Amino acid sequence: MVFAKRLRDGVRRGEITCSVRIWTRPHVHAGGHYRMDKGEIIVDSITQIGFPDITPELARESGFLGVIDLLKVAQHGKGQNIYLVRFHYVPAGRSGSCGVSRATGRTKPVSPRTQPVRS
């Protein structure tokens, strides 16, 4: 998953653990691993929601000042389906993250599941 630059520190610190995305179809899946900086995002869940579900509280939880601020960034392409993605960030070197394997000391192979998702 790709995040606006201003949100990345909050994601890394664990302060931001959800994102609202407006897509034509889901671009991530629960359990998927997606690179971000030197670690990765692990998607815990993805749920289709409606506009009434986008509350000021959800906007703030997603790292935005309010609903309007969130909606300016959430639209990706021509999509009309709204998804709430819940996730957590795992720094490089921690169990479950991409990078170097603790067991072998070798670089883990990069698979499509660890590639950044562009929307």
pLDDT value for 98: 52
Residues in the chain with pLDDT < 50?
A: 99-115, 117-119
Cα–Cα distance measured from residue 86 to residue 97, given in angstroms and rounded to the nearest whole number:
17
Domains of the chain in sequence order: 5-114 (2.30.130)
pLDDT value for 104: 35
Determine contact, residues 40/82, Cβ cutoff 8 Å: no
Question: In which residue are the tokens 């998702």 written?
Answer: 117
pLDDT value for 77: 79
Paired with 47 in beta bridges are 84
